[in-house]
Amino acid sequence: MANEQFFIVGTGFFGAVMAERITSQLGASVTIFEKRPHFGGNSYSYLDRDTGIECHKYGSHIFHTSIPKVWKYINQFTDFTSYRHHVLTKHAGQVFAMPINLFTINQLYQKNFTPSEAQEFLAAEIARDKLSAPKNLEEKAISLIGRPLYEAFIKNYTKKQWGCDPKELPAEIITRLPVRTSYNTNYFADTWQGVPKDGYFALFQKLLDNPKITIKYNCTYESVKNELPKSAKIIYTGMPDALFDYKFGPLNWRSLKFEWETLDMQDYQGTASMNYADLDVAYTRIHEFKHYNPERLAAFNCPKTIICREYPETYQLGTEPYYPINNEENNKLYSLYAEEAQKDPRLILGGRLGQYKYFDMDKTINNALETFDKMLKNNL
Ligand code: UDP
């Protein structure tokens, strides 16, 4: 297999892990086409020269996983800090804790419930809507937390985030968030979490540090595809509809716009991620990056801070696709593209875009590891 030719499209986690596996395990060479001027996909981060603050260029990325194989694998390339993600959300002029937990419940209802009192109270709130089998995000959320909490913290944030009514969205999106009747305010319920000690840049540098890996930056697949040898293996992590010239029609995506600001103050919001649950502001959240690295004292204590407001946007050709919109119609359309890809034994689709799934970083790594193992088994 060392003589096979491998081409990868995209240097996000799927592409980078596949490149690492193919070169280190098979001794084969890999060429990666990256349309941006840098590697790392949307997980890319850089150090701001002026302040030394590490900025996540495409919004906050916190690594979290409960998959032992992934944790073991990724720890070969970086150590992680002890950062634990805690999110706050602004609603009706007040700051609440997210995901919904006993602080949130007691603050919204002006109560001092114990956990069992909160459970009993929520059960009665949920029962009011008499939803037996939740069919969409709204019904699922109400079946978990009742209508008042849904309307305060989920309904309008979700409308902004996805640009549609939560009734039109799949229920699974909301099950990403835990609901707790304890005072545990951890955003993630995973076994391991943190941010890479020396940043995502250093992590990707290490993953891709093999003389058998060549990266061609500012290079689209479209511009090279006709020059690749017919027998080459292609691992494609871009948009599947674009790969097949939109032959079945375009898939729907949600895009984002980021508005950056460096401020002359040490601390803007006192936390890394502040959500905005109401419709009076167009953005969904503000990231303040120094809070991801409190251990880097010089940057943390410097009299400046960097914030970034995140505005969800309609995806259109030429903007960046960030999220697949996994409703029934889009999933059906994706399966047509996936079937088309399967007809070509040289082609593998991977990653959040390629597989049209709302994967976190760990799931993407896991998929890449499994895809590589399958490749070995099938002697592809
Ligand atoms: N969500 C919400 N309110 C919040 C945070 C999240 O309604 O304050 C909903 C929203 O629909 C969002 C989903 O939960 O799309 C998943 O949130 P997560 O924080 O996992 O989204 P990501 O960080 O991937 O954008």
Give catalytic status of residue 352 as yes or no.
no
User: Any catalytic annotation for residue 310?
Assistant: yes
Compute, in angstroms, the gap from residue 329 CA to the centroid of ligand 1. 22
Quick one: which of 104, 110, 108 has its CA closest to 87?
104
Among the listed residues 21, 285, 296, 352, the single catalytic one is 285
Ligand 1, closest atom to CA 60?
Answer: 23
CB within 6 Å of ligand 1 — which residues?
89, 98, 153-154, 157-158, 161, 173-174, 176-177, 275, 277
Report residue 30 as tokens.
Answer: 């890999």
Residue among 60, 21, 30 at smallest CA distance from 43:
60
Could you report the per-residue pLDDT of 174-230, keeping only the tens digit for each?
999 999 999 999 999 999 999 999 999 999 999 999 999 999 999 999 999 999 998
Note the pLDDT tens digit of each residue in 337-370: 999 999 999 999 999 999 999 999 999 999 999 9
The answer to whether 277 and 156 are in contact (CB under 8 A) is yes
| Region of residue 313 (phi > 0: left; psi between -120 and 50: alpha; otherwise: beta) | beta
Ligand 1 centroid to residue 285 C-alpha, Å: 10
Residue 176 alpha carbon to ligand 1 centre in Å: 8
Do 39 and 16 form a contact (C-beta atoms < 8 A)?
Answer: yes
- Please pick, among 20, 125, 139, 360, the residue that the annotation labels catalytic: 360
pLDDT recorded at residue 378: 79
Q: Within 13 A of 12's CA, how many CA atoms are on the CB side?
A: 29
Ligand 1, atom 19: closest residue by C-alpha? 177
Tell me whether residue 296 is one of the annotated catalytic residues: no
Asked if the model's pLDDT at residue 2 lies above 70, the reply is: no
Q: Is residue 176 annotated as part of the catalytic site, yes or no?
A: yes
For 32, 73, 210, 211, 327, the CA distances from 234, given in Å and listed in that order, are 10, 23, 19, 20, 28
Give the atom of ligand 1 at the shortest distance from the alpha carbon of 98.
Answer: 8
311 CA → ligand 1 middle, Å? 13
* Closest-CA residue to 354 (of 20, 60, 44, 13): 13
What is the pLDDT at residue 1?
A: 55
The alpha carbon of 189 and the centre of ligand 1 are apart by a number of angstroms equal to: 15
98-143, pLDDT tens digit by residue? 999 999 999 999 999 999 999 999 999 999 998 889 999 999 999 9
For 52-81, write each residue's pLDDT tens digit: 999 999 999 999 999 999 999 999 999 999
pLDDT band at residue 87 under the 50/70/90 scheme: very high
Q: Which DSSP letter does residue 328 get?
A: H
Mutate to test the pocket of ligand 1, among 94, 151, 157 (most ligand atoms within 8 A of CB): 157
The catalytically annotated residue of 36, 147, 254, 346 is 254
Find the catalytic residue in 180, 236, 292, 356: 180
Question: Is the CATH code 3.60.150.10 the one for domain 5-39+208-250+324-379?
Answer: no
Four-residue CA torsion sign, 59, 50, 291, 14: positive
* pLDDT (tens digit per residue) in 243-283: 999 999 999 999 999 999 999 999 999 999 999 999 999 99
Give residue limits of the domains in the chain.
Answer: 5-39+208-250+324-379, 44-86+186-197+253-314, 101-176
pTM for the structure as a whole: 0.96
Give the single-character DSSP code of 196: B
Cβ 135 vs Cβ 328: under 8 Å: no
Q: Own/partner pairs for 371-379, CB < 8 Å, 24+ apart? A: 371/18, 372/17, 372/18, 372/21, 372/22, 372/25, 375/348, 376/25, 379/1
Smallest CA separation from ligand 1 atom 10, residue: 158
Ligand 1 mean position to 346 CA, how many Å? 36
| β partners of residue 55 | 46
